[in-house]
């Protein structure tokens, strides 16, 4: 298929690359040139300008946030350039209200709008192992399904695009809650001299033996050594998406309120760029008057 | 080995039965006679009185709460009856402060005190698949290890008995947080017409594919049909154990504070005996002005 | 002075009327005609169109929210019509970010922007007893000061317009907290059979003998009988202003987070239009499983 | 009247001294001798032993907490020494559950138990300006009323002693909430460069012009210079009394939960002995990444 792809951050680039590798014709566009050149080296076409993406049958977007979607599709005119019958699948984590608004604006132009945000990090994208939450008209999803199948497994959440966003936002909230729960548990047990490594090790081999817990436990029990895969600033953004969706639907979310304050405290302490799990762990330690190594106790090496 | 076992509730009875089945000599005692008779039918001995348990080499206890431990070991005199050199392994979820106090009182009498609370429900106990968190002197744990091995897998958390309690209390807090997180996620997505069954189904097959999430997701997405395995009242008790331990160690636990209020609200609404996951789900719906079926929307049958 | 006045809601109309009564030439504009006609009966001029307000030396605005300010001054062009040297004093409770943005846009046009939000209800406005929080350049405030003096007492909070908004938003947060505190206290004491009327009566005659507590205590202790002076929906708006300002300045506000969830719960229960104090009181009772009369107990008439 | 008085801390000593000054025969007892000697210099009798207090018609107690009441009246036997017909008025802030228990134990002995906790600091006690919340049988209160009249103004809250405790605990919760509200408001406004002194100055001269706000505002806006009148540790104790009463009555108190975590954080940071208002102000600043002077900005001297 002939695919236009806009938004070549870490995730977008990995996804576009995967589509190229699967033999699709992929025309890419990005605000900065570097990522485009890299994709060209893998066989992608570079659009000469943003509107040239509109020549594709399908446009996939993986832009940073609501504002970037508005900038690209509305102010810079990509939506206006799309021909009736085109399908646009927005794969980023954006707000429910943006999804609703975009679905309406696309409909007016005869363009189908599909929300298909993804769960997974760039390595999962590169391996075609993303989990994709899709919502939109069945016909439009059927059009993009071959592309989604290259990227991972699709989970359907309804006929209204915003439903996939609600599912994705709820998923990210669940992730953030799991992290905070581990932080509180580690800090509590650690204050009695229990090694966070030992506690979280047990949890992630028993009741919580799942990818999410296994991914984040080490970031909580030990100080991070590598750049953030997902930062506290992005955590704050995601929690705000949950709170905004909750407010629109009149759903109080007390855990989300706690998380908002915790991420805000992280940002206030200059830790906006820290891995979100590490940031919550530090906030937990800070509240307890501890500092230095995780949970305020020396964490012994794992046996 | 010759084991005394006190506390034949659902968990205790399953554990004692398992020990009998493994060929150990088990002498049991319980406040009410029914469970003792059932165990006798399986080959256990019944103690004629509580102090007769003291003839065993090891005493295991699985009593309901701090108060029951104090009643049995202090007021009714079981501790005073134990001979120096005996090991008492307390397998129940009790407070850190009780563990500290009991460890001291046992030490004065020359009796070893081991904390070895368990993670798992009665069926896991019957199958020898509990996860056991143990703390205490290495020598004392070595004595009871053959029994623990019959009951499940042992995880060691330190030389001070209370460390196992801290680990268990932290574990239960993590469980309660996971449940509340699923409730908020289901309520949020559900308010946009996303089926809680579908959302939690995806979560528990992907990032949260772990025993705890798989166990509780159905109780959140659907109304419960069977008696509670673990009630809201017990949830409140466990969260209070976490808050008390946190206060002793000066560790603020904001998620635990939210959970306390949520369980308290459940009790205030006459739902003390409801399954704890169902109770939190109802509290979440109630806050949103919803009622009736889970998440306020009709939950379609799973495909 | 020749004053243009836009925004004749309950507060705006009372303020404009007061200015007319003090002998100022007041030209008014409002989205709907009714309030304009009423003011004309009192001696005000009606503008034939919004831009005609620009003929005045000073423009005062008392619009409902950020959106109404943007609509009136930006989209409908009032700002563009103002002549350099004019002073615009925005007396409404709007966001810190809007104040910052408007100050900049006014500056570009050579117009002075003063933030001067007010504390007080329409009767206080009519009596010239408002408390006015003012910020902006000293010169610009000096120009409007004679008008502010007609309306009440001025408190100065800095040279940047947004500082007055920060002070007003902080003030409203303090009010909402006072209300929630009385609700929790009344519900707690009420659950032991203490009359909320008696408890709040004592508090407001002793440690809390202040206008704010005396105003709201009766709305908490008894069911409201008159239309809302300030609704739960407006309470939610104000708490959101506080949370947004806090996020911009990286200040976690845990009480504000609790209030947000409480007001959201009120809205979810169809109580958006209820007096905000009554709404918080009901939320407090609802959480406790109580319903009906305040605090779940029969409130005896005051002695 | 012949009064026995036990508990000569700062408050108790001021109260006993006031009673002596009013011409009552006051026999005192205290754990340490110093305060007794001081009272003797003012005309009080010293009891030779605790039970000698029982010769009085009325016993007033002003002990530090539940534990001290239990120690004095139960373990050290003062209750057992009281003659039937005596009235014991407990003027301290203790738990609702202790009041209920003590009322029952006194009734069994034919002794009347009145709860009459007080609002006010030692200087108010010395001046006879306390506010006294009283509950118990009308007859018993009538007996102690002449003494209460010497100490301040009495507010009646019911026939069950515990009702006065519920009222007092609710009052202290309201105080703590007012302090936290001012801290959040000051921190929020302060982050925009608004002087906390100016903001709280305005609030305490307008909507919040009450003794409680006027007392605490300076402690929030400026660093404390004198020893704590009421410490963070006592604040934590009082919030815990509220949470315990709420749990007994099944009343969730979300503000109290926030306060508990805040005071706990203070204790964790070594600020247990700091004035409670200063401690909450510091916690607020700490969360915002600020330190040093109040609200993180230089507070100019008041104009």
Q: How many CA atoms lie within 13 A of A189 on its CB side?
A: 34
Cross-chain CB nearest to A289 (options D261, D268, D289) = D268
Are B194 and A246 in contact (CB < 8 Å)?
no
Cα gap B234→B70, rounded to integer Å: 19
Q: How far is CA A76 from the centre of its chain?
A: 24
Q: Which of B36, B130, B37 is nearest to B89 (CA)?
A: B130
d(CA C270, nearest CA chain B) in Å: 8
Q: How confident is the model at residue C229 (pLDDT cuts 50, 70, 90)?
A: confident
| Chain B neighbours, 3+ Cβ pairs < 8 A | A, C, D
Cross-chain CB nearest to A289 (options D269, D288, D290) = D269
Are C288 and B270 in contact (CB < 8 Å)?
no
Give the mean pLDDT of B243-264. 98
pLDDT tens figures, B177-191: 999 999 999 999 999
Angle at C63 between CA C62 and CA C68, to 5 degrees: 155
Are C202 and D251 in contact (CB < 8 Å)?
no
CB atoms within 10 A of CB A261: 23
Q: Name the β-bridge partners of A2.
A: A25
Q: b/e string for C91-126 if b means 16 or more Cβ within 10 A?
A: bbbbbbebbbbbbeebeebebbbbbbbbbbbbebbb
Backbone torsion region of residue C250, taken as left when φ is above 0, otherwise alpha when ψ lies between -120 and 50, otherwise beta: left
Asked if residue D293 has pLDDT above 90, the reply is: no
Mean pLDDT of chain A: 94
Cross-chain CB nearest to A251 (options B173, B245, B288) = B288
Give the H/E segment covering residue D114.
strand D112-115
| pLDDT for D299 | 38
Longest pairwise C-alpha distance within chain C: 64
Asked if residue C139 has pLDDT above 90, the reply is: yes
Cα gap A263→A265, rounded to integer Å: 5
Looking at residue A15, the DSSP 8-state letter turns out to be H
| pLDDT for C302 | 37
Asked if residue A199 has pLDDT above 60, the reply is: yes
Q: Which residue of B has its CA nearest to C284?
A: B265
- What is the SS3 assignment for D4? strand
| pLDDT for C222 | 83
Let me know: does D49 contact D72? Beta carbons within 8 Å: no
pLDDT tens figures, C84-110: 999 999 999 999 999 999 999 999 999
Let me know: does D151 contact D18? Beta carbons within 8 Å: yes
Asked if residue A13 has pLDDT above 90, the reply is: yes
CB atoms within 10 A of CB B128: 17
Q: C-chain residues within 8 Å CB-CB of D133? A: 202
d(CA A181, nearest CA chain B) in Å: 5
Cross-chain CB nearest to D182 (options C156, C174, C187) = C174
Asked if residue A294 has pLDDT above 70, the reply is: no
Are A257 and C252 in contact (CB < 8 Å)?
no
Longest pairwise C-alpha distance within chain B: 64
Cα gap C242→C177, rounded to integer Å: 12
Are A213 and B211 in contact (CB < 8 Å)?
no
Are D289 and A265 in contact (CB < 8 Å)?
yes
Asked if residue B295 has pLDDT above 70, the reply is: no
Are B288 and C268 in contact (CB < 8 Å)?
yes
Asked if residue B293 has pLDDT above 50, the reply is: no
Angle at A72 between CA A67 and CA A78, to 5 degrees: 145
Let me know: does A169 contact A241? Beta carbons within 8 Å: yes
Catalytic residues of B: 168
Interface of B with C (CB under 8 A): 261, 265, 268-270, 286-290
Cα dihedral D240, D243, D245, D246 in deg (nearest 10): 170
Lowest-pLDDT choice from B88-97, C224-233, D264-273, D277-286: C224-233
Q: If 0-12 CB within 10 Å is exposed, 13-18 middle and 19+ buried, where does residue A105 land?
A: middle
Cα dihedral C114, C117, C123, C125 in deg (nearest 10): -10
Let me know: does D143 contact D3? Beta carbons within 8 Å: no
Q: Which of B242, B236, B100, B114 is nearest to B169 (CA)?
A: B242
Cα gap B262→C184, rounded to integer Å: 15
CA distances from A264 to A260, A280, C253, D193 (A): 6, 10, 10, 19
CA distances from A154 to A115, A129, A131 (A): 12, 10, 6
Are C287 and D242 in contact (CB < 8 Å)?
no
Q: Which of C48, C92, C46, C45 is nearest to C70 (CA)?
A: C92
CB atoms within 10 A of CB D83: 12
Q: C-chain residues within 8 Å CB-CB of B288? A: 265, 268
Cα gap D5→D1, rounded to integer Å: 12
pLDDT > 70 fraction of chain C, expressed in percent and rounded: 95
Catalytic residues of A: 168
Q: A-chain residues within 8 Å CB-CB of C265? A: 252
Are B208 and A178 in contact (CB < 8 Å)?
yes
- Whose tokens are 């709040």? That residue is C200
Q: Does ipTM exceed 0.90?
A: yes
Let me know: does B289 contact C269? Beta carbons within 8 Å: yes
Are D203 and C133 in contact (CB < 8 Å)?
no
Are B119 and A206 in contact (CB < 8 Å)?
yes
Are A265 and C257 in contact (CB < 8 Å)?
no
Cα gap C257→C255, rounded to integer Å: 5
| pLDDT for A223 | 74
Give the mean pLDDT of D183-194. 98
d(CA D159, nearest CA chain C) in Å: 10
**Sheet of B118-119, strands arranged across:** B118-119, B130-134, B152-156
Looking at residue A73, the DSSP 8-state letter turns out to be I
CB pairs < 8 Å spanning A and C: 36
Task: Name the percent of chain B in helix, strand, coil, to the closest 5.
Answer: 55, 15, 30
Cα gap A92→A68, rounded to integer Å: 10
Let me know: does C44 contact C2? Beta carbons within 8 Å: no
Cross-chain CB nearest to D288 (options A268, A287, A288) = A268
Cross-chain CB nearest to C209 (options D178, D210, D258) = D210
Long-range pairs for A18-22 at CB < 8 Å and ≥24 separation?
A: A18/A125, A18/A126, A18/A128, A18/A150, A18/A151, A19/A60, A19/A147, A19/A150, A19/A151, A20/A44, A22/A150
Instruction: Enter the tokens of residue B193.
Output: 């017409």
pLDDT tens figures, C28-51: 999 999 999 999 999 999 999 999
Are A207 and B163 in contact (CB < 8 Å)?
no
Asked if residue B37 has pLDDT above 70, the reply is: yes
Cα gap B282→B232, rounded to integer Å: 11
Q: Which of C48, C41, C130, C45 is nearest to C89 (CA)?
A: C130
Asked if residue B291 has pLDDT above 70, the reply is: no
| pLDDT for A225 | 66
d(CA D256, nearest CA chain B) in Å: 10
pTM for the structure as a whole: 0.94
Mean pLDDT of chain B: 94
Q: Which residue of A has its CA nearest to C244?
A: A240
Cα gap D100→C157, rounded to integer Å: 51
pLDDT tens figures, D49-100: 999 999 999 999 999 999 999 999 999 999 999 999 999 999 999 999 999 9
Q: Which residue of B has its CA nearest to A161?
A: B192
d(CA A245, nearest CA chain D) in Å: 23
pLDDT tens figures, A131-156: 999 999 999 999 999 999 999 999 99
d(CA A246, nearest CA chain C) in Å: 9
**Sheet of A130-134, strands arranged across:** A118-119, A130-134, A152-156
Q: If 0-12 CB within 10 Å is exposed, 13-18 middle and 19+ buried, where does residue B199 land?
A: buried
Number of residues assigned to chain A? 303
Q: Which of A61, A168, C239 is nearest to D181 (CA)?
A: C239
Asked if residue A297 has pLDDT above 80, the reply is: no
Q: Which residue of A has its CA nearest to B167?
A: A189
- What is the SS3 assignment for B3? strand
| Chain A neighbours, 3+ Cβ pairs < 8 A | B, C, D
**Sheet of D118-119, strands arranged across:** D118-119, D130-134, D152-156
Cross-chain CB nearest to A267 (options C250, C253, C262) = C250
Q: If 0-12 CB within 10 Å is exposed, 13-18 middle and 19+ buried, where does residue B3 land?
A: buried
- What is the SS3 assignment for A135? strand
Give the H/E segment covering residue C115.
strand C112-115
Q: b/e string for C12-37 if b means 16 or more Cβ within 10 A?
A: bbbbbbbbbeeebebbbbbbeeebbe
Instruction: Enter the tokens of residue B261.
Output: 């209020």
d(CA D270, nearest CA chain A) in Å: 8
Cross-chain CB nearest to C265 (options B269, B270, B287) = B287
| pLDDT for A229 | 82
Asked if residue A213 has pLDDT above 70, the reply is: yes
Q: How many CA atoms lie within 13 A of D65 on its CB side?
A: 9
Q: B-chain residues within 8 Å CB-CB of C184? A: none
Q: C-chain residues within 8 Å CB-CB of D192? A: 96, 160, 162-163, 166, 245, 249
Give the mean pLDDT of A35-51. 97
d(CA A289, nearest CA chain D) in Å: 5
Are D213 and C211 in contact (CB < 8 Å)?
no
């Amino acid at each position: 298929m002939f695919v236009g792809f806009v938004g070549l951050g870490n995730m977008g680039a990995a996804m576009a690359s995967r589509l190229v590798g699967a033999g699709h014709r992929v025309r890419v566009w990005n605000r900065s040139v570097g990522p485009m050149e890299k994709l060209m080296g893998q066989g992608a076409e570079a659009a000469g300008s943003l509107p040239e993406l509109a020549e594709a049958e399908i446009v996939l977007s993986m832009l940073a946030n609501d504002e970037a979607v508005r900038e690209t599709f509305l102010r810079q005119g990509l939506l206006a350039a799309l021909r009736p019958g085109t399908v646009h699948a927005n794969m980023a984590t954006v707000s429910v209200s943006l999804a609703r608004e975009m679905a309406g604006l696309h409909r007016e132009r005869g363009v189908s709008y599909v929300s298909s945000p993804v769960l997974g990090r760039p390595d999962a994208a590169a391996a075609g192992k993303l989990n994709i939450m899709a919502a939109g008209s069945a016909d439009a999803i059927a059009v993009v399904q071959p592309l989604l199948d290259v990227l991972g497994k699709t989970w359907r959440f309804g006929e209204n695009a915003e439903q996939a966003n609600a599912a994705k936002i709820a998923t990210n909230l669940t992730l953030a809650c799991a992290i905070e729960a581990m932080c509180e548990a580690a800090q509590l047990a650690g204050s009695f001299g229990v090694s966070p490594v030992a506690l979280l090790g047990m949890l992630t081999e028993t009741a919580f033996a799942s990818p999410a817990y296994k991914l984040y436990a080490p970031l909580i029990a030990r100080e991070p050594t590598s750049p953030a895969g997902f930062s506290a600033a992005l955590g704050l953004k995601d929690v705000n998406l949950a709170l905004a969706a909750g407010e629109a639907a009149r759903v109080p979310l007390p855990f989300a309120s706690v998380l908002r304050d915790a991420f805000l405290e992280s940002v206030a302490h200059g830790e906006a760029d820290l891995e979100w799990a590490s940031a919550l762990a530090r906030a937990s330690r800070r509240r307890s008057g501890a500092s230095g190594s995780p949970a305020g106790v020396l964490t012994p090496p794992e046996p």
